[in-house]
Amino acid sequence: MYPHSMLDFIAIVDETREKRKAGVMDRLAPGQVDELLRRYHPDYREAAFRNLRVGANRGDRTTHEIADLLEAFSDLDHSKIDLTPEYDTDVLVLGGGGAGVTAALFAQSMGARVILATKLRLGNSNTIMALGGMQASVHGSDSPVRHFADTMVAGKFAGKKELVKTMVEDGPRIVKWLLDLGVDFDRDGEGNLATKKAGGLSAPRIISIGDYTGLNIMKVLKDEIRQVDGIDVFEFSPAVELTTNEFGECNGAVLYDLGRKRHFVVRARAVVLATGGSGRLHMQGFPTSNNFGATGDAIVLAYRTGARLEGIDSFQYHPTGIMFPEHMVGVLVTEAVRSLGAHLVNAKGERFINELETRDACAAAIIRECERGNGVQTPSGTIGIWLDTPLLEETQGSGFLKSRFPSLYRHFMRVQINISKRPLLIYPTLHYQNGGILIDEKGETSVKNLFTAGEAAGGIHGRNRAMGNSLLDIFVFGRRAGLAAAKRKYNDPGNVTLNHVHRYYDKLKSLRISTTAKSPTLFPEFIVNKL
């Protein structure tokens, strides 16, 4: 329920709705977008970044939060760790979200023995938080070529062309695989896959399952992995270090059993890193939509082995993260709400950006309005602008929001806010790590036998990710990493060592880099304090 101090601002939204419906909001020219981003997007705040002083990406720019992790020592006392493998397998998958489960399933399908270890429960990941849908060129009026062009434009042409090409060409294959597993995507009146548009797309290409797409896909994948033989799942067992052999090739990991509070080693012929992104580091103090486990573990562990990173100075801030009520900060309103016609409205009742601009442009425009004093303040002092959801009830018909976005509708009815009658207060929210560990088309990193898939991987999305490409990405490169890793099952993994870690620490000491930070973090500080 909104407090009285905010009701006057809501009245302005209601009073200006008819005038806004009659108006037209032009799209920004490329030069205008560049200027908007340069002045207001968080990626352009120079004080929030610094250059790395050590490792394969020495001299590259990243946020202080990421740099602190990469230039830190571990809590692990390496001199006291017994590196005798407790388990031996063909493929070790680290991460239990969509990318990790997909990699495990495809590796097993090739006859590989697989261990999947995950920090939390299987499926407890950012995948289940993916609301709006997945991109794939499944209709005759669309094509992978158009999908490629849209993705490259959204990413400011910084994405690796070969990776983008791989993703968009594999899209229809992945959709068929998911359908064969039993994923029930929404259909139109004729029984075809229903598609919708989103910001920056030249064609309706988003397929979805209501407004809880990722959750429903993950349910199917969890059922599938529990039914197959040859995959052992270790829950509550995060990786705290990768291991390498005498040639510097990845050959396993040191895991930590959270329940029994002990370390153990898994040796493998190949490792797939799929532990997700870093949103829980709360870059620049922004709220985040991310799962509690998203603390950048993958880039820390891979970087110590010598793996190159890509695009680690670029993060996505989803334009429509909830700012009121306070306990729902971090909850996202899917982009589909804007694509169907809901307006972004400032405190004066003005529409200030075309809602189909790319996510980075919309986020920057919202920040601009708030910095200009055109935001709405909550009783606790936070600032946001309005997303005019009642407009959809007027244009699409009564009951539309409840039927089309049932999860969102129920969330807010629990706090006595009817989104068909009241707008939502929103502000950009840290959502996605655009960069990560550089991979090739097979998902392999610059370190032999180390593969990466999902949000941990870099080089695909460039400097901005288009809606729906994250779900596609995790399945495309999860599949490819799993298949390629399985082919290493005949390798001799060699001796298990932490030589790469000792060399990395020696470099930190030689540069006199000292810090109180420990990495990987594993859990946000406010969670650790409760453990």
Which of 340, 290, 354 lies closest to 317, judged by CA?
A: 290
Whole-angstrom distance, CA of residue 428 vs CA of residue 242: 34
In terms of Cβ atoms closer than 10 Å to its own Cβ (0-12, 13-18, 19+), residue 189 is: exposed
Told to judge if 280 belongs to the known catalytic residues of this protein, a careful annotator would answer no
Give Cα 70 to chain centroid, integer Å.
20
Closest CA to 90 of 298, 271, 340, 336: 271
In 64-172, the DSSP E strands lie at 87-94, 114-117, 134-135
Concerning whether 64 is annotated as a catalytic residue, the answer is no
Backbone angles phi, psi at 328, to 5 degrees: -105, 10
How far is residue 232 from each of residues 227, 241, 492, measured CA to CA in Å? 11, 20, 21
Terminal alpha carbon distance of the chain: 33
Cβ-contact 297, 159 below 8 angstroms: no
CA–CA separation, 474 vs 213, rounded Å? 14
Q: Which strand (E) or helix (H) includes residue 248?
A: none
Give dist(CA 68, CA 49) in Å, integer. 11
Between CA 105 and CA 181 the distance in angstroms is: 12
Distance CA(267)–CA(279), nearest Å, equals 29
Q: Choosing from 17, 147, 338, 359, which is the catalytic residue?
A: 338
Whose CA is closest to 522, among 119, 241, 243, 235? 119
Marked catalytic residue, from 318, 431, 461, 465: 318
Please, are residues 511 and 71 in contact by the beta-carbon 8 Å criterion?
A: no
Q: Catalytic site residues?
A: 318, 338
